[in-house]
């Protein structure tokens, strides 16, 4: 969908309105003795809190006022169909397990997409005060140290790569083996970074994020931010990843190709 500059500017404005409104809703209970986590998982522990609900609800209220013709897809309250051809994809707290553990690796994910995928996205970390933005000519992080451009690392190879993942918390045994095969070839692997791992890739700090079992709302905003920073995100077949599932985010085509070949070699064996 072709979007003129005025529309792009308006979508960016609304995205930041959503992030500004979600911040206090998430911070109100973070590291609080009043925080209670319910389990919505059918098999594995899948926590949800009042902050998840409040964060998404306040963003939906703004969209109803500012962009009533747009569709909305959110983790907690499902889909609302609009007529504009644009969809706001919301994850009110990505990384609720980290949120209830007190780690500052969770974030609010906001993106606006058309039928081809995300066009603009924000990864907002309220506790640290960092907001990573990408799309419509923007690739920057605003935080305690000011505003800095986002630029994925282009000189890395798999042998000197840093890899992030939520494994072994997610994924099937086969997917875990595929991830481990990549990890064994990389220089360093770190775990449990939630959406902040994707932000670090866009900021040029790491080279790969590999995950599985994702939903659309988990990955839309990271795709927009990483692609704006010069990185790439696909599924494990090399196809677009905005529907979720198995995802590989890479700083550059070299490290992407090397990791993708290993993943495919294991899952297709």
238-252 confidence digits (pLDDT tens):
999 999 999 999 999
CA distance 46 to 25: 20
Residue of 250, 222, 10, 239 lying closest to 121 (CA atoms): 222
Tell whether the model's pLDDT for residue 42 goes beyond 80: no
| pLDDT at 166 (0 to 100) | 87
Question: What single DSSP character describes residue 131?
Answer: E
List C-alpha distances in Å: 248 to 17, 116, 252.
30, 18, 11
Quick one: tokens of 32? 């609080």
Residue 10 pLDDT level (bands cut at 50, 70, 90):
very high
Q: What is the pLDDT of residues 117-165, one digit of tens each?
A: 999 999 999 999 999 999 999 999 999 999 999 999 999 999 999 999 9
Whether 144 and 13 map to the same domain: the answer is yes
Which residues does 84 contact at the CB level (< 8 Å), separation at least 6? 67, 69, 70, 71
Whether 231 and 249 map to the same domain: the answer is yes
Whether 184 and 105 map to the same domain: the answer is no
Domain that holds residue 96: 5-149
For the chain, the domain total comes to 2
| pLDDT at 201 (0 to 100) | 98
Residue 17 pLDDT level (bands cut at 50, 70, 90):
very high
CA distance 260 to 249: 10
CA distance 222 to 123: 7
CATH of residue 81's domain is 3.30.540.10
Whether 203 and 144 map to the same domain: the answer is no
Whether 105 and 13 map to the same domain: the answer is yes
Residue 40 pLDDT level (bands cut at 50, 70, 90):
confident
Whether 124 and 198 map to the same domain: the answer is no
Whether 10 and 125 map to the same domain: the answer is yes
Prediction pTM value: 0.96
């Amino acid at each position: 969908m072709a979007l003129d500059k005025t529309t792009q500017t308006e979508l960016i404005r609304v995205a930041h309105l959503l992030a500004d409104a979600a911040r206090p809703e998430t911070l109100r209970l973070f590291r609080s003795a009043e925080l209670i986590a319910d389990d919505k998982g059918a098999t594995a522990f899948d926590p949800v809190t009042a902050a998840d609900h409040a964060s998404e609800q306040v963003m939906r209220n703004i969209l109803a006022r500012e962009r009533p013709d747009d569709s909305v897809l959110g983790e907690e309250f499902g889909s609302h169909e609009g007529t504009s051809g644009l969809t706001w994809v919301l994850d009110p707290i990505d990384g609720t397990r980290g949120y209830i553990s007190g780690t500052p690796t969770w974030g609010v994910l906001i993106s606006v997409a058309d039928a081809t995928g995300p066009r603009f996205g924000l990864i907002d970390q309220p506790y640290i005060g960092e907001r990573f933005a990408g799309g419509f000519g923007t690739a920057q992080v605003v935080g305690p140290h000011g505003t800095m451009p986002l630029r994925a690392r282009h000189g890395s190879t798999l042998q000197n790569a840093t890899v992030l993942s939520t494994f072994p918390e997610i994924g099937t045994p086969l997917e875990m083996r595929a991830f481990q095969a990549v990890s064994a070839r990389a220089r360093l692997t770190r775990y449990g970074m939630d959406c902040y791992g994707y932000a670090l890739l866009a900021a040029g700090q790491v080279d790969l994020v590999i995950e599985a079992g994702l939903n659309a709302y988990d990955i839309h905003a990271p795709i927009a931010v990483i692609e704006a920073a010069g990185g790439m995100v696909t599924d494990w077949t090399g196809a677009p990843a905005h529907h979720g599932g198995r995802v590989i985010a890479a700083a550059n085509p070299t490290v992407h190709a090397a990791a993708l070949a290993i993943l495919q070699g294991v899952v297709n064996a």
